[in-house]
Amino acid sequence: MNILIFNEYRHEKQEEAVRKIYPNGIHGARADLFRADGHTVKTVTLDDENCGIDRDVLEWADVLFWWGHIAHREVPDEVAALVRDAVLNGMGFVGLHSAHNSKPFRLLMGTACSLRWRSVSKERIWTVSPGHPIAQGVPQQFVLEQEEMYGEYFNIPTPDELVFLGWFSGGEVFRSGVTYRRGLGKVFYFQPGHEGFPTFYDPTIQTILRNAAAWAGRTCRGNVLDCPHTKALEEA
Amino acid sequence: MNILIFNEYRHEKQEEAVRKIYPNGIHGARADLFRADGHTVKTVTLDDENCGIDRDVLEWADVLFWWGHIAHREVPDEVAALVRDAVLNGMGFVGLHSAHNSKPFRLLMGTACSLRWRSVSKERIWTVSPGHPIAQGVPQQFVLEQEEMYGEYFNIPTPDELVFLGWFSGGEVFRSGVTYRRGLGKVFYFQPGHEGFPTFYDPTIQTILRNAAAWAGRTCRGNVLDCPHTKALEEA
Amino acid sequence: MNILIFNEYRHEKQEEAVRKIYPNGIHGARADLFRADGHTVKTVTLDDENCGIDRDVLEWADVLFWWGHIAHREVPDEVAALVRDAVLNGMGFVGLHSAHNSKPFRLLMGTACSLRWRSVSKERIWTVSPGHPIAQGVPQQFVLEQEEMYGEYFNIPTPDELVFLGWFSGGEVFRSGVTYRRGLGKVFYFQPGHEGFPTFYDPTIQTILRNAAAWAGRTCRGNVLDCPHTKALEEA
Amino acid sequence: MNILIFNEYRHEKQEEAVRKIYPNGIHGARADLFRADGHTVKTVTLDDENCGIDRDVLEWADVLFWWGHIAHREVPDEVAALVRDAVLNGMGFVGLHSAHNSKPFRLLMGTACSLRWRSVSKERIWTVSPGHPIAQGVPQQFVLEQEEMYGEYFNIPTPDELVFLGWFSGGEVFRSGVTYRRGLGKVFYFQPGHEGFPTFYDPTIQTILRNAAAWAGRTCRGNVLDCPHTKALEEA
């Protein structure tokens, strides 16, 4: 599978504490994971020209993982629109953590994707669709000792499938893992993954990332953006 | 209820045949209907300044009916974004016919909303959710002798509710009536309503428009666009 | 509106502590609420002949509230099937608390409706569909100091709409308020309401019960149980 | 994959015309297909003891294909309940044609699964979820020259996914391919397959059957029928 990984890559450059956790960037940690599984991986970052994203790389990609946090606005609108169109035409999209607020995810949802937040909390993640491909190998519940709290009301469309719910020690709940179909492509949003914690090294989180890649990966390729004019198939 | 009606209002000005059917514009026909029911109605058109749409009128409106066909691109992006945000904050949105391709509807859906089309066909509309509020008073099936054919594949998100299916004599089918929640607001898209036919005078269509207004009308008002920072509710 | 209330009515007879909270039975507390709103209310209990339920009373009812806990098996299968068929033909059904395990609810769901449970926990209920009619007047979150814990995995079909999520101090989460359409009727399940706590006197809970009655109440009446043989509408 | 095929197997015994089309029974035609793909196939029929269905064979099966038409009532209630429970615990279920009215499918749906019907019609099937695994290799639309007409209103729950829509020359439409999750298992219902026509030899239909087996096949195995009593995970 061809996996494209986008990372904002600012925290790691600017903050020693983050760099210590992810010395090769958050994208690097995920790239290692997928490469070890035999996938072909390409990483791009916000400071690459046009975020390193053009039609060719999106045609190449079977699935795009997106992580961003503090600089969503610097992603050009044209890049976000290209990503949306690539999803409609069959590419998978996995939004991680603050990608809820990223331009491509918001375009694909049609909502503000707003939520309540707080810096640090203990999180317990519950599997509410244990038969779902993304939940295979994931226990009924598991703990992240430190995560950024994202809480309801989460302004998203009704998910096609609700896979995970988050419980936070501060009293909040969150739809932490949700899926959508958009055109020919599939979308998965997953809430954990703050830059300040080693979440992406957690083995259960890695299982979910692997499952997400397999589930969201392209099943077909097409052009469903245009409105074809057609002839009648039956005689009146 | 406060009903806002947007009409592109170009066909009626440019084509004698359309003007004969809708001498006061397509917006006029619907405005008459809703006023007769006792609603307060305001109509705006593409050629009004900023489409006649600003924050104030969207705050005032409980539901916005949208009809456009050949000039979607002339609607400013800012106006489309205002409409989307008003829906997220509680206003209802009813898209009629070619509004599938309008900027506000596409923003709310997150997809291309593309479809197959052909000029004229007989259409038979089937109610597939007979308990739905929008289907009350609507027979199990009814005929429009002449409609523009809109056929699958219709590139929309999985509808929250599928209310009507269209059968076309040329061999096509279509999800002709679909609902969505977006934030605090409700969205209904309904396919019939080509400018060249007197569809909006059909009594069954009028029943559906009335039901759509009642169903999609605002149930609350809020601001769900922002991400509040919050304190923990429980002690760790 | 005609409201039918079914209560198992065993705890109140057998346990002094429960009788003190609900001296007229759990059905009595809800009957008072709805009568004060001007509805016509009829209450029936498990020990009535055939649970007090026959075709006539189900035809009369616009919505049926169901509460049961320890004696689900004593409800005759025929009564459960009558209730299911009445829902399919337009009656609303609101299942409260342990009604998740009642025969009519399980018949309507098609699943085991199993869940994890524990006697007492603090619960915090979050509104995740703030625009939904059942959530009107309900704050973004509220607390029940003592409730029975019902936790995921909850073996139900994907809800049409997820209205409330429950957070429990013991670390669990639950889809506490869910809606479904079944035929012409509507179904709402709501998790709080253990017999040992005064949950049904809580003003927010009462708002939810009122909203549930209005939302689930019959919008039409029909017979959708049979498969009619039909003639072609178009000539081949 | 282990594929279990249930066939009522009455038409083939009683009607020469049907026997000519399916000399080894409708189950035989499907068994040949799946065996050619390398699957392990077991066929059972209504006249086998207990329909040939017990806990062991359901544990063995990854997916169960069900075809029945005129003798649904002869399937014992206990067998239908075993099938439902096996689906909840992870087995896939594919209902073909008149299986809409079979006991296991109705149990899994919770509705009457009633529909309109007429003996013969030309059918055109449209793919409305072209990215769905079950639709891979299936054209945008294809024709069955002769099929039994099954038309709306189809009394089923809102499908999780609507994959195919049927257009009939007599003027009807139908949700011809729909999916559901039930517990750990997946359910697909597909409308074509009348015993009087060689539908199951159609290459496109065979592609859909293959895809359905792959999609609905078991992803896991568990017991989600019971309500475990649990201890708190967090200290109060």
Extents of the domains making up chain C: 2-110+176-216
Q: A230 is written with which tokens? A: 């057609």
| pTM score | 0.98
Across the interface, do B112 and A236 touch by the CB < 8 Å criterion?
no
Residue A183 phi/psi, 5° resolution?
60, -130
Please give the ipTM for the structure prediction: 0.96
CA geometry: angle B205, B193, B164, nearest 5 deg: 55
To probe the interface with B, which of A120, A182, A220 has the most B CB atoms within 10 Å?
A: A182
DSSP β-ladder status, A185-190 and A173-182: antiparallel
Within 13 Å, how many C-alpha atoms sit on residue C99's CB side? 27
Residues of A in contact with B111 (CB under 8 A): 88, 182-183
Which chain B residue's Cα is nearest to A183? B155
Chain C touching partners, 3 or more CB pairs below 8 A: A, B, D
State CA A155 to chain mean position distance: 16
Q: Which amino acid is at B40?
A: T
Cβ-based contacts of D220 with chain A (< 8 Å): 130-131, 136
Least Cα separation, residue A36 to chain B (angstroms): 34
* Strand ranges across the sheet with B2-7: B40-45, B2-7, B63-67, B92-96, B185-190, B173-182, B161-168, B116-127, B141-151
Inter-chain CB proximity B130 and C219 less than 8 Å: no
Asked if A219 and D131 come within 8 Å (Cβ–Cβ), the reply is yes
pLDDT value, residue D236: 58
Residues 6+ apart with CB under 8 A from A110: A157, B84, B107, B108, B109, B110, B157, B182
CB-based contact C114 D84, cutoff 8 Å: no
B25 shares contact with chain C (CB less than 8 Å): no
Instruction: Choose among A22, A119, A105: nearest CA to A68.
Output: A105
Query: Which chain A residues are within 8 Å of B88, Cβ to Cβ?
Result: 111-112, 155
Token reading at D15: 């009607």
Contacts of C108 in chain D (CB under 8 A): 110
- Give the integer Cα–Cα distance in Å for C123 and C137: 19
In whole angstroms, give the CA distance from residue D220 to residue C18. Answer: 42
A34 neighbors A64 (Cβ within 8 angstroms): no
| Residue among D79, D54, D58, D26 nearest D185 (CA) | D58
Nearest CA in chain C to B130: C184
| Both structure tokens of A94 | 């996995």
Of B124, B151, B161, the CB nearest to D171: B124
Q: Amino acid identity, residue D154?
A: F
Q: Do C224 and D112 touch (CB under 8 A)?
A: yes
Q: Is D158 on the interface with B (CB under 8 A)?
A: yes
Q: Which residue in the set D130, D153, D165 is minimally distant from B127, CB to CB? A: D153
CATH of the structural domain C2-110+176-216, one choice from 3.30.565.10, 3.40.640.10, 3.30.70.100, 3.40.50.880? 3.40.50.880
Kindly determine whether residue C167 and residue A153, on different chains, have CB atoms separated by under 8 Å: no
Q: How far is D220 from chain A (nearest CA, A)?
A: 6
Give the distance from CA B49 to its chain's centroid: 21
Report whether C91 contacts C65 (CB < 8 A): no
Closest CA–CA distance from residue B184 to any residue of chain C (Å):
4
Closest by Cβ to B114, choosing from A151, A181, A227? A227
Residues of B in contact with A228 (CB under 8 A): 116-117
Question: Distance between CA atoms of A147 and D170, rounded to whole angstroms?
Answer: 59
Is C196 exposed, middle or buried, given 0-12, 13-18 or 19+ CB atoms closer than 10 A?
Answer: middle
C71 touches chain A (CB under 8 A): no
Local confidence band at C236 (pLDDT 50, 70, 90 cut-offs): low
Question: By CA distance, what is B182's nearest residue in A?
Answer: A157
pLDDT of residue B235: 78
Inter-chain CB proximity B225 and A169 less than 8 Å: no
| Average per-residue pLDDT for chain C | 97
Residues above pLDDT 70, as percent of chain D: 100
CA separation for the pair B144, C232 (Å, rounded): 17
DSSP D186-232: EEEEE----TTS-GGG-HHHHHHHHHHHHHHS-S-----SS--B---
Full pLDDT tens readout for chain B, 236 residues: 999 999 999 999 999 999 999 999 999 999 999 999 999 999 999 999 999 999 999 999 999 999 999 999 999 999 999 999 999 999 999 999 999 999 999 999 999 999 999 989 999 999 999 999 999 999 999 999 999 999 999 999 999 999 999 999 999 999 999 999 999 999 999 999 999 999 999 999 999 999 999 999 999 999 999 999 999 999 75
The CA dihedral of C203, C205, C206, C207, to the nearest 10 degrees, is: 90
Residue of B nearest to D140 (CA): B153
pLDDT exceeding 90 applies to what percent of chain D?
98
Contacts of residue C171 in chain A, CB cutoff 8 Å?
124, 141, 167
Question: In residues, how long is chain B?
Answer: 236
Euclidean distance between CA atoms A115 and B224, whole angstroms: 8
Phi, psi of C207, deg, nearest 5 = -60, -45
Q: What is the largest CA-CA distance in chain C?
A: 72
Please give the average per-residue pLDDT across C185-189, as a whole number: 98
Contact D131 A161 (CB under 8 A): no
Which residues of chain A fall below pLDDT 70?
Answer: 236
What own/partner pairs with CB < 8 Å and gap ≥ 24 does A220-224 have?
A220/A90, A220/A184, A220/D130, A220/D131, A220/D136, A221/A89, A221/A90, A221/A184, A222/A89, A222/A90, A222/A184, A222/D130, A223/A89, A224/A88, A224/A89, A224/A183, A224/A184, A224/B112, A224/B114, A224/B153, A224/B155, A224/D130
User: Which phi and psi angles does B28 have, rounded to 5°?
Assistant: -60, -40
- Cα separations in angstroms, C199 against B231, C174, D54, D155: 27, 17, 44, 36
CA atoms of D133 and A181, how far apart (whole Å): 12
Task: Tell me which residue in A127, A153, A172 faces C127 most closely, judged by beta carbons.
Answer: A153
DSSP-derived 3-state class of residue A190: strand
D65 pairs with which residues across the strands? D5, D94
Which of C124, C151, C175 shows the shortest C-beta gap to A171?
A: C124
What is the SS3 assignment for C121? Answer: strand
Q: What is the mean pLDDT of residues D84-95?
A: 98
B90–C contact, CB cutoff 8 A: yes
| Spatial separation of the C-alpha atoms in residues D92 and D66, rounded to whole Å | 11
Element (H, E) at A116: strand A116-127
Mutation pick from A111, A120, A122 vs chain B, by most beta carbons of B within 10 Å, is A111
Say yes or no for a CB contact (<8 Å) between C233 and B169.
Answer: no
pLDDT band at D235 (very low <50, low <70, confident <90, very high): confident
According to DSSP, the residues that pair with C150 across neighbouring strands are C117
Q: What distances in angstroms separate CA A152 from CA A95, B179, D61, D195, one per listed residue?
A: 18, 23, 40, 52
If you average pLDDT over residues D168-182, what whole number do you get?
Answer: 98
Q: Do C133 and B219 touch (CB under 8 A)?
A: yes
Test C169 with D116 for CB contact under 8 angstroms: no
Taking CA D132 as the corner, what is the angle to CA C163 and CA C108, rounded to the nearest 5 degrees? Answer: 40
**Chain C within 8 Å of A60 (Cβ-Cβ)?**
no
Give the gap in angstroms from C-alpha C129 to the nearest C-alpha of chain A: 8
Cα–Cα distance, C108 to A212 (Å, whole number):
32
Tokens of B110: 């997150």
- The pLDDT of residue C231 is above 70: yes
Q: What is the largest CA-CA distance in chain A?
A: 72
D88 in reach of chain C (CB within 8 A): yes
pLDDT, mean over chain D: 97
d(CA C115, CA C155): 7
Q: Which fold has domain D2-112+177-216?
A: Rossmann fold (3.40.50)
Q: Looking at chain A, which subunits does it touch, using at least 3 CB pairs closer than 8 Å as the criterion?
A: B, C, D
Please indicate if any CB of chain D lies within 8 Å of the CB of C186: no
Per DSSP, which regions of chain B are E strands? 2-7, 40-45, 63-67, 92-96, 116-127, 141-151, 161-168, 173-182, 185-190
Residue C142 distance to chain B (closest CA, Å): 11
The one-letter amino acid code at A113 reads: C
User: What distance in Å separates residue D157's CA from the closest CA in chain C?
Assistant: 6
Q: Tell me the nearest-neighbour CA distance from D74 into chain A, angstroms.
A: 31
How many angstroms separate the CA of residue A226 from the nearest CA in chain B? 6
Tokens of C86: 């009445």
C26: closest CA among C96, C76, C75, C113?
Answer: C96
Whether residue D220 and residue A183 make contact (CB cut-off 8 A), yes or no, is no
CATH number of B2-111+176-216: 3.40.50.880
| A131 closest CB neighbour out of D129, D161, D220 | D220
Q: Which residues pair with D125 in a beta bridge?
A: D142, D166
Q: How far is CA C209 from CA C154, C162, C201, in A?
A: 22, 16, 11
With a cut of 90, say whether residue D49 has pLDDT above it: yes
